[in-house]
Amino acid sequence: MFVVPERMIAGLMTPEEAFGAVEAVFAAMAEGAAYNFPVVREALGEGRQYGFKSGLDRAGAALGVKAGGYFPGNAARGMINHQSTVFLFDPDTGVLRAAVGGNLLTALRTAAASAISIDRLARREARVLGMVGAGHQAVFQLRAAARVRDFDRVIAWNYHPDMLPKLGEVAAELGLPFEAVTLERMVEADVIVTITSSPAFSLASAHVAPGTHLACMGTDTIGKQEVEPALLARARVFTDEVAQSISIGEAQHAIGAGLIAAGDITPLGAVITGAAPGRRSEDEITLFDGTGVGLQDIAVAAKVVELARAQGLAIEVEL
Ligand code: NAD
């Protein structure tokens, strides 16, 4: 088997490779050639969360699982709180093929999903990017969004305003003017990315202008919420996977309130394959509920193993 440790990922994986790998697996999911297994997520106590995201991609000949979670005591030990590892198996034999550091890959595959949604669903002439959230993932989200649209400024809001300057530095690196704003001013945005761990919504329907595309990326478990449920009723809703969207994604709240039904939600993969229409008018609000699926992790891990092997960097070990 091959090991690609966390320290190697930054030198191997690019946002472009992540975009391509995630787009291909979303299409395979829509075609029924790839599917995710039910997510396992358990509370370990003291705020620790541990779980598995897994799936099979027949098209890409990949089978695997991402194991990991959130360990809030890590920061005090000099480690990041989110820790994960991806294991890849031979889909024909079940033999373990690779163990891959999953921390940076998680950020890259999550940002790729959001960027794919912006690429496919936002208005071509979108100019103002709104960011709600300013934590670890937000900087990856900002960079990825800036790759797919020609934004001329970034406006941002965060529950903890002291975190915003770091996001502003990334905007400056990208040459984009950056302004911290109130939630009410999010109506100026053409694209809004939400990436928080909020337990209650911040962004209300009234904060969103017609024609906006939203990538709601923070809600990946029961009880998190970023946007007002009425916004989902007003929008056309897309997702990575409907089963996750209605149970652990942003749509869990609008579904629970009876505002939308599972049948109202379109897999983004169906837009990629052409089976479903994307944006239909300049005025409609499109909302991507990005819940994060195991197949995204498997797709980027398989790509990184391919790159590491091609460069002679993958560490071969006998199990
Ligand atoms: P982080 O801890 O670095 O940042 C947390 C963010 O949430 C900050 O912006 C913080 O200000 C905000 N926040 C915290 N409490 C809040 C509250 N009560 N109200 C409003 N905002 C609040 O976390 P991160 O690594 O940037 O992850 C952000 C979210 O994205 C988490 O919920 C994480 O689980 C989720 N996530 C989703 C995917 C996916 O595929 N969809 C992948 C990775 C992470």
Question: Are 83 and 71 spatial neighbours (Cβ–Cβ below 8 Å)?
Answer: yes
Q: Assess if residue 113 is contained within a domain.
A: no
Tens-digit pLDDT profile for residues 167-178? 999 999 999 999
53 in catalytic set = no
**In 223-293, alpha helices (H):** 229-234, 242-247, 251-256, 268-273
Instruction: Assess whether pLDDT exceeds 90 at residue 210.
Output: yes
- Name every protein residue with a CB atom under 6 angstroms from any ligand 1 atom: 82, 106, 110, 133-138, 158-160, 163, 195-199, 202, 217-218, 220, 224, 290-292
Alpha-carbon distance 301 to 319, whole Å? 19
Query: 66, 166, 224, 303: which is the annotated catalytic residue?
Result: 66
63, 96 contact by CB (below 8 A): no
Q: Kindly report, residue by residue over 172-197, the tens digit of the pLDDT.
A: 999 999 999 999 999 999 999 999 99
The preferred substitution site among 25, 131, 137 for testing ligand 1, maximizing ligand atoms within 8 Å of CB, is 137
Q: What is the pLDDT of residues 263-298, one digit of tens each?
A: 999 999 999 999 999 999 999 999 999 999 999 999
Q: How far is the C-alpha of 203 from the C-alpha of 156, rounded, in Å?
A: 12
Residue 241, Cα to own-chain centre: how many angstroms?
A: 12
Q: Which of 49, 80, 197, 247 to mutate to test the pocket of ligand 1 (most atoms within 8 A of CB)?
A: 197
User: Is there a contact between 187 and 208 (Cβ–Cβ < 8 Å)?
Assistant: yes
Judge if 60 and 162 occupy the same domain. Answer: no
Q: Please tell me the predicted confidence (pLDDT) of residue 174.
A: 98
pTM of the model: 0.97
Structural domain contains residue 28: yes
Same domain, 184 and 254: yes
209 lies in which domain range?
A: 123-292
* pLDDT given for residue 80 in this prediction: 87
Residue 111 counted as domain residue:
no
Domain for residue 273, yes or no?
yes
Q: pLDDT class for 319, splitting at 50, 70, 90?
A: confident
Looking at the structure, do residues 127 and 263 belong to the same domain, yes or no?
Answer: yes
Average pLDDT, integer, range 4-27? 97
The whole-number average pLDDT for the span 147-152 is 98
Instruction: Using the predicted structure, report yes or no on whether residue 117 has a pLDDT greater than 90.
Output: yes
Q: Distance, CA 142 to ligand 1 centroid (Å)?
A: 14
Which residue, by CA, sits nearest to atom 8 of ligand 1?
Answer: 135
Q: Are residues 271 and 179 in the same domain?
A: yes
Residue whose CA lies nearest to ligand 1 atom number 16: 198
pLDDT at 247 over 90: yes
> Considering only CA atoms, which of 71, 41, 225 is closest in space to residue 133?
225
Instruction: Tell the residue nearest (CA) to atom 32 of ligand 1.
Output: 197
CA distance 205 to 202: 10
**Both 304 and 191 in a single domain?**
no
Rounded Cα distance, 156 and 49, in Å: 29
For residues 273-301, one letter each, b for 16 or more C-beta atoms within 10 angstroms of the residue's C-beta and e for the rest, the string is: eeeeebbeeeebbbbbbbbbbbbbbbbbb
The CA 196 to ligand 1 mean position distance, Å, reads: 3
Domain match, 160 and 264 both: yes
Closest residue to atom 42 of ligand 1, CA basis: 110
Domain assignment present for residue 256? The answer is yes
pLDDT surpasses 90 at 60: no
Q: Measured in angstroms, how far is the CA atom of residue 247 from the centroid of ligand 1? A: 18
Maximum Cα–Cα distance across the chain: 58
CA-nearest residue for atom 1, ligand 1, is 135
Among 17, 29, 86, 20, which Cα is nearest to 56's? Answer: 29
Rounded CA separation 153/151 (Å): 6
3-state DSSP: the chain helix, strand, coil percent, rounded to 5? 40, 25, 35
Domain holding 26: CATH number?
3.30.1780.10
What pLDDT shows up at residue 135? 93
Cα separation, 269 vs 281, in Å, equals: 20
pLDDT at 59: 86
Q: Residue 32 and residue 170: Cα distance in Å, rounded?
A: 38
pLDDT at position 259 is: 98
Higher pLDDT, 80 or 238: 238
Q: Determine, yes or no, domain membership for 78.
A: yes
The pLDDT of 191-212, averaged and rounded, is 98
CATH number at 229 reads 3.40.50.720
Number of structural domains the chain divides into: 2
pLDDT of residue 75 exceeding 90:
no
Render pLDDT for 16-53 as a digit per residue (tens, 0 to 9): 999 999 999 999 999 999 999 999 999 999 999 999 99
Would you give the DSSP letter of residue 188?
A: G
Residues 169, 95 share a domain: no
